[in-house]
């Protein structure tokens, strides 16, 4: 856990962002070597435990019920299904399993009780267990912690300014509140973003300013490249270049020196050479598996070949933090009344589509 020694300013991060690329990679690689073993890259597996049908309107997400993306919805996976997937992932080198459910927020119901059982199951397999379930209250975060949850993922996605162009059904502060609840429960924080959604370099840097000024800084920051899925408002976005990805990884490494920076969505568009530069610039994790929730991902055997070529070794679990020990969950009574917002921003791409439809009629 790393506490920033002083608050970073937007200008400072922009200055780093604008450095000549190779100079920036060299500096980031130096910071990386001072804080991490550069030969180690963690293989993480992202498993969708409940797919599709989500009530939110995240403009990049094929799982939002309102977009017609052809994603098949499924109910929560059983304990057996998750156990089999986790064991297979572990055999193939994963030391971390992230379970994702397409929910706006966690509800105190039997589904949540089931997720707590899933967390215990994966924890028992000696893997770092992460969950991404939408917004959580402090009470719910404590229960996840008691079940042995190692990390909770809740991405900021982009800058506060650009957020309303991408998501209208909740506010930036809701994201920060969930991160705060996770932190209070003693769970490590995983929070990052997506580049290539039409945001500016300034937006990318503003997001990094917010992440870097969290105290303590997040232990894990995934950097995703948008995978533009047909049927979503962002379907027409052009893929970002590898150079933007390398630059983003390098800046993230510079401003969050101890954090695990994760190469996440978008790797199918990246060559081994491009990924090698990202590892050089400070990326210390990949997500493995044929799919990343619902979008395509490189084949694990191809990834293992890449590790061989580059002389990388998969990181073992719990190298940075101890394994959480599940305890009997207490009956927390924090007198909570979650008040997640419904800010009702307008996503411009959605609006444009609506206008086009009306004109066509």
- Known catalytic residues are 54, 58, 61, 98, 130, 190, 262
Of the residues 42, 44, 56, 153, which one makes contact with ligand SF4 according to CB under 6 A = 56
Select 52 or 257, whichever has its Cβ closest to ligand SF4.
Answer: 52
Q: How many residues line the site for ligand SF4 (CB under 6 A)?
A: 9
Taking the C-alpha atoms of residue 17 and residue 195, their distance in angstroms, rounded to an integer, is 14
User: For 224, phi and psi rounded to 5 degrees?
Assistant: -105, 145
Q: Which stretch binds ligand SF4 (CB under 6 A): 52-60, 142-150, 189-197, 208-216?
A: 52-60
CB 66 within 8 A of CB 57: yes
CB 260 within 8 A of CB 245: no
Dihedral angle computed from the Cα positions of residues 254, 257, 263 and 266, in that order, rounded to the nearest 10 degrees: -30
Q: Which stretch binds ligand SF4 (CB under 6 A): 42-50, 51-59, 212-220, 344-352?
A: 51-59
Q: How many CB atoms lie within 10 A of CB 88?
A: 13
Select 189 or 229, whichever has its Cβ closest to ligand SF4.
Answer: 229
Taking the C-alpha atoms of residue 109 and residue 111, their distance in angstroms, rounded to an integer, is 5
What is the separation, in whole angstroms, between the first and last Cα of the chain?
A: 56
Lay out the site mask for ligand SF4 across 63-82 (x = CB under 6 A, - = otherwise): xx------------------
Residue count (the chain): 361
User: Which residue, 106, 132, 107, 170, is CA-closest to 48?
Assistant: 132
Select 58 or 277, whichever has its Cβ closest to ligand SF4.
Answer: 58
CB 343 within 8 A of CB 171: yes
Q: Which residues pair with 251 in a beta bridge?
A: none
Of the residues 29, 94, 118, 134, which one makes contact with ligand SF4 according to CB under 6 A = 134
User: What's the token pair of residue 203?
Assistant: 């937006």
- Consecutive H or E run containing 98: strand 94-101
* Near ligand SF4 in 246-285, by CB under 6 A: none
How near is the Cβ of 319 to ligand SF4 at its closest, in Å?
29
Of the residues 58, 116, 130, 240, which one makes contact with ligand SF4 according to CB under 6 A = 58
Q: What share of residues in the chain are helix, strand, coil (percent, to 5)?
A: 40, 15, 45
Select 189 or 255, whichever has its Cβ closest to ligand SF4.
Answer: 189
Q: Which stretch binds ligand SF4 (CB under 6 A): 53-61, 77-85, 158-166, 240-248?
A: 53-61
* Near ligand SF4 in 73-132, by CB under 6 A: 102, 104
Select 54 or 144, whichever has its Cβ closest to ligand SF4.
Answer: 54
Q: Which stretch binds ligand SF4 (CB under 6 A): 22-30, 54-62, 137-145, 179-187?
A: 54-62
Of the residues 24, 46, 61, 245, which one makes contact with ligand SF4 according to CB under 6 A = 61
User: What's the token pair of residue 247?
Assistant: 């630059």
CA-angle at 44, arms to 302 and 262, nearest 5°: 95
How near is the Cβ of 184 to ligand SF4 at its closest, in Å?
22
Select 13 or 349, whichever has its Cβ closest to ligand SF4.
Answer: 349
- Footprint of ligand SF4 (CB under 6 A): 54, 56, 58, 61, 63-64, 102, 104, 134
């Amino acid at each position: 856990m790393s506490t920033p020694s002083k608050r970073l300013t937007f200008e400072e991060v922009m200055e780093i962002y604008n450095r000549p690329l190779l100079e920036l990679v060299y500096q980031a690689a130096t910071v990386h070597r001072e804080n991490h073993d550069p030969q180690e890259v963690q293989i993480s597996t992202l498993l969708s435990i409940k797919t599709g049908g989500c009530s939110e309107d995240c403009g990049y997400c094929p799982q939002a019920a309102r977009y017609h993306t052809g994603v098949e919805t499924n109910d929560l996976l059983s304990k057996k299904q998750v156990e089999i997937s986790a064991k297979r992932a572990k055999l193939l080198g994963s030391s971390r399993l992230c379970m994702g459910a397409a929910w706006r927020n966690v509800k105190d119901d039997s589904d949540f009780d089931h997720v707590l059982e899933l967390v215990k199951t994966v924890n028992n397999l000696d893997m770092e267990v992460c969950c991404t379930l939408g917004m959580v209250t402090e009470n719910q975060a404590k229960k996840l912690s008691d079940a042995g949850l190692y990390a909770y993922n809740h991405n900021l996605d982009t800058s506060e300014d650009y957020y309303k162009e991408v998501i209208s059904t909740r506010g930036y502060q809701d994201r920060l509140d969930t991160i705060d609840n996770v932190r209070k429960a003693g769970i490590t924080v995983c929070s990052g973003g997506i580049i290539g959604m039409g945001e500016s370099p300034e937006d990318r840097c503003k997001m990094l300013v917010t992440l870097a000024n969290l105290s303590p800084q997040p232990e894990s920051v995934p950097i995703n490249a948008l995978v533009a899925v047909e049927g979503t408002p962002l379907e027409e976005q052009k893929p970002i270049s590898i150079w933007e990805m390398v630059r983003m990884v390098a800046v993230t490494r510079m401003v969050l020196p101890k954090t695990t920076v994760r190469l996440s969505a978008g790797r199918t568009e990246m060559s081994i050479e491009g990924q090698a530069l990202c590892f050089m610039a400070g990326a210390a994790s990949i997500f493995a598996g044929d799919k990343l929730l619902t979008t395509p991902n490189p084949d694990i055997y191809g990834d293992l070949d890449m590790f061989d070529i580059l002389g990388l070794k998969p990181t073992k679990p719990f190298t940075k933090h101890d394994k959480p020990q599940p305890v009997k969950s207490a009956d927390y009574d924090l007198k909570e009344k979650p008040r997640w917002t419904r800010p009702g921003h307008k996503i411009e791409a959605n609006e444009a589509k609506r206008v086009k439809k009306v004109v066509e009629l």
